[in-house]
Amino acid sequence: MERIKEILINPVIAIAKAKKEKSLNKTILVLIFSWILVGLSFFFSFYKESLILVAFGSALMIFLFGILFSVFYGYIIDIVMNILGGKGKYYDSLTAATYSSLPISIGLLLTSIMSFVHPMLGMAIGFIVIAITTALSLSIYFRAIKEFYATDMLMAFIGFLITFYVFIIAVYISAAFSMGSTLFGSLLPTFRV
């Protein structure tokens, strides 16, 4: 819990400690905590509109998918930053992704709770909360990449853009192939004699 407080209050010290300690256990605990918060935010979002079982199932699926996505995302960051000349390991990219996800997960939870109370409250105050926590998250991400991979901010930004494009391209191509195979699969029976 101390590391979580440090990430939110003084992320520069938290990043420096993580770089020095190299504690995968602390990174995993922060990762799990972040995705629990995101899962809870989805629970509150779905609970008002659906059954409690659907809300719980959705929250659980988001939690599990989030953990797996973060592990994969850390791997992609590691590949990109090492090719760009960084000097880090997988732990460093996972820690950067994990620490930067904590503020936005808190923002999502606070916004979903406010929206649960009243939609206008969630929209008005939620905007401010999401803006602040996103600023924190992105700043922590760039600082962590800079520190862990011993690179400058420009290279951290280029790595971020490459990683962003990797996911856009992957989603686009996998969706295109999926839709194409479905379309051609449904047309095949009509062409048979």
Separation CA 99–CA 106 (nearest Å): 12
**For residue 53, what pLDDT is reported?**
83
Band (pLDDT 50/70/90 cuts) for residue 190 is: low
Q: What are the tens digits of pLDDT across the range 101-137?
A: 999 999 999 999 998 888 888 888 989 999 999 999 9
pLDDT tens string 37-73: 999 998 988 777 667 888 888 899 999 999 999 999 9
Query: Which pLDDT score is estimated for 176?
Result: 83
Using CA atoms, how far apart are residues 114 and 123, in angstroms rounded to an integer? 8
What type of residue sits at position 134? Answer: T
- For the record, the structure tokens of 12 come out as 């520069």
pLDDT level of residue 186 (50, 70, 90 thresholds): low
The residue-averaged pLDDT of 142-163 equals: 94
DSSP string, 84-143: TT----HHHHHHHHHHHHHHHHHHHHHHHHHHHH-HHHHHHHHHHHHHHHHHHHHHHHHH
User: 145, 156 in Cβ contact below 8 A?
Assistant: yes
Tokens of 159: 């790595």
